[in-house]
Amino acid sequence: MKSKIMENLTDIEVLIDNAFGKRGSIERDAIEERAELFVVVEMLKEARKEAKLTQEQLAQRIGAKKSYISRVEKGKADIQLSTLFRLVEKGFGKKLNLTFG
């Protein structure tokens, strides 16, 4: 037997569908793309801070300009896969692992 509280709960997927459209819709795809970009940008910023690097120092390590690193960290620049590898491997001295799910 469901309690009154449980009866009034809405599935999170229903809320997301109502707010951003159904999966596969243009609106939903755009929101999900921005959310994924946000996650990558935050990971890059966190890695730079963990490495105790300034944007200028990171730019020098990968052969880019500070302004480019700034744009990447603001989500204003598209990152080519080769640049992402340079950022992670040359910039942070880490290995980039990609997973498809």
Q: Looking at the predicted structure, is the pLDDT value of residue 20 above 80?
A: yes
- Fold observed for domain 10-91: 434 Repressor (Amino-terminal Domain) (1.10.260)
Q: Looking at the predicted structure, is the pLDDT value of residue 33 above 80?
A: yes
Tell me the average pLDDT across 45-57.
Answer: 97
- Delimit the domains of the chain by residue range: 10-91
Q: Looking at the predicted structure, is the pLDDT value of residue 45 above 90?
A: yes
DSSP string across 24-92:
TSHHHHHHHHHHHHHHHHHHHHHHHHHTT--HHHHHHHHT--HHHHHHHHTT-SPPPHHHHHIIIIIIS
